[in-house]
Amino acid sequence: MRVSRNKMAPVKSFYLTTPIYYVNDAPHIGHAYTTVAGDVLTRWHRQRGESVWFLTGTDEHGQKVMRTAEQNNVAPQAWVDRLVSDAWKPNWSALNIANDDFIRTTEPRHTERVQKFLQSLKDSGHIYAGKYEGPYCVGCEEFKLPGDLIDADGQKLCPIHSKPIELVNENNWFFKLSAFVEPLLAHYKNNPDACQPESARNEVVSFLEGGVSDLSISRSTFDWGIPVPWDTDQVVYVWFDALLNYATAVGLTDAPDSEGGKKFAQTWPADVHLVGKDILRFHAVIWPAMLMAAGLDVPKKVFAHGWLLVGGEKMSKSKLTGIAPKDITDHFGIDAFRYYFLRAIPFGTDGSFSWEDMSARYTSELANDFGNLASRSAAMVEKYCAGSLPAVSHDAGLEAALKETVAKADAAMCALDFQGGIMAIMDFCKQVNGYVTIKEPWILAKDPANQAVLEEVLYNTAESLRALAVLLHPVMPQTCEILWQSLGAQAALGDLSAQKISDVATWGQLPQGATVTKTPVLFPRLETPAS
């Protein structure tokens, strides 16, 4: 977080975006994986007390959308409207995604700002007329280099979609991308965190060092797109249009004293762009070059995560390997879905999804370690203390462990090491379980002479659960809210979402006399195997 030198200016928001998702079909768990990661990170930053802006949205132009709409005998706008309203927004709502804005590239606010931006680049000499001839993948909506393609039975195929490319021969408008090779190389040399993980940055630097051609930024053979403002017989190349969403959504090109201009000043540059590694070059080469050409700040970080694999291949609807989020959440629950993908797969590497692994982690980590701790703690306070939390007690071991946990988890989460952050929190959960096992409150309860010790154990366990509820809230908001209510924390401490990460390790926040109640099982037994 940084504050402007102008003391009257608002605090710079932590601004995070998901990729602008191509809306040609319903989202699969690969899309959900990225969006959940963005949601967890922004929830964490909110609980750090920061101003946050979280954007997601849909990319709705291009040849692929137009052809799919034609195949379904509907107009492109009707097709994308249906997908957004029936699939994309409902999926994010179902996964408890707390985005601040949802932008669609067919919205007037986007169209108008794209045209203004494009005209400004033309006026400043960064765009010129030319002719493009070469391979194009409609699935990627990407102009390909010959070296990018694979050979199969005499055909040139896209390596991502395994489908034949098309040869394009058009008079187009070009962006002088090649002029920004050296500025981009200098940027990544001086700001190694600007492209992460390291493997992604190395790929981008290698690509730039190999030489970059100017980019065709218009298409003349179809009309589903934003018209080029000075040449309305052409539409803006879908990626040049789509990338701008990250800035048009927060007021790009608006007058500085307008609401949009003020929002842009408060928000830009983006702190984190989350992207899949297959669209890294668009976001780490083309996008910052566009911003440099306009004299705007480039994003602070582009983070390319790995793929979710099924059968060793990237998840894809076109290859029939896409799995709908609902297929998993109907069986495991929403919070288990959110937990599993960030816990099981190091963010930034490829990872394979399996029902067996998710079932095992659900049972051992969520049901047994976390859920069982919460349920038996509440049950014992109710049974041995009539549901009233005993006096504040301190256990030096748990207090020290909690301080260490908060420091580790905060550092990991802010570095997008979701697995490391969650593991640190769950290690503390295991320590609390070990504390309960050693102290044996159910044995202590058999002798009235042990009542004072028993109450100390029960308080320390409940206070540990208070901390776990706050730390796990960004990951599992619904479950942690139930736990928060069970501990009687709402009445004593206020809303769970208002609790600060920096305050978590302050021991003794749950007051004596707080009403502790049993709740439904947080993670019910999986009765039937997934299919």
Q: Which residues are catalytic?
A: 28, 31, 137, 140, 158, 161, 314, 317
130's enclosing H/E stretch is strand 127-137
Distances (CA, A) of 222 to 132, 237, 238, 388: 15, 11, 12, 70
Strand pairing class (52-59; 101-104):
parallel
Give the closest residue to 484 by CA, choosing from 374, 343, 388: 374
308 bridge partner residues? 351
CB atoms within 10 A of CB 31: 24
Could you tell me whether strands 351-352 and 308-310 are parallel, antiparallel, or unpaired per DSSP bridges? parallel
Contacts of 179 (CB under 8 A, 6+ apart): 126, 293
DSSP letter for 448, please: G
Residues 523, 483 contacting (CB under 8 angstroms): no
Starting at the earlier edge strand, list the strands of the sheet with 14-22. Answer: 101-104, 52-59, 14-22, 272-276, 302-305, 195-196
Q: Could you tell me the sign of the dihedral formed by the alpha carbons of 344, 350, 356, 359, in that order?
A: positive
Phi-psi region of 134 (alpha: psi -120 to 50; beta: other; left: phi over 0): left
